[in-house]
Amino acid sequence: MTFDLKRGELLQLQVWVDDNHKVVKYDLVYINPLIYAGDNGRVLAYDNNHDIHHKHYFGEFITVDFVSYEDQLKKFEKEYEALKAKFQT
């Protein structure tokens, strides 16, 4: 978890693995209420809560195709970096 209070952001990456080191649950979240006040400030998130692989994007709930956790992480990182560049002050 990282914080940048000057920019109002919280970046939280949580991953749960089973005894075989297989990812069974993940929650990748970018919160910044200075950019988006809805959904408790959650600007972007990828997770598999409720047994559905999906993302949250400015309040929208969007199901996503799942290839692997690593693929989801790459998508999240790419979108996070694009948002950071777009809203950087």
pLDDT for position 8: 79
- Cβ neighbourhood burial of 19 (10 Å; 0-12, 13-18, 19+): exposed
What is the full per-residue pLDDT of the chain (89 aa) written as tens digits? Answer: 555 656 678 999 999 999 999 999 999 999 999 899 999 999 999 999 988 999 999 999 999 999 999 999 999 999 999 998 898 75
Q: Cα torsion for 46, 48, 52, 58, to the nearest 10°?
A: -30
pLDDT for position 4: 61
Count other C-beta atoms under 10 Å from residue 29's C-beta.
Answer: 20
pTM for this prediction:
0.87
pLDDT for position 44: 97
pLDDT for position 5: 54
Can you give the residue range of the structural domain that contains 73? 2-87
On whether the CB atoms of residues 14 and 5 are closer than 8 A, the answer is no
pLDDT for position 9: 85
CA distance 76 to 70: 10
Number of domains in the chain: 1
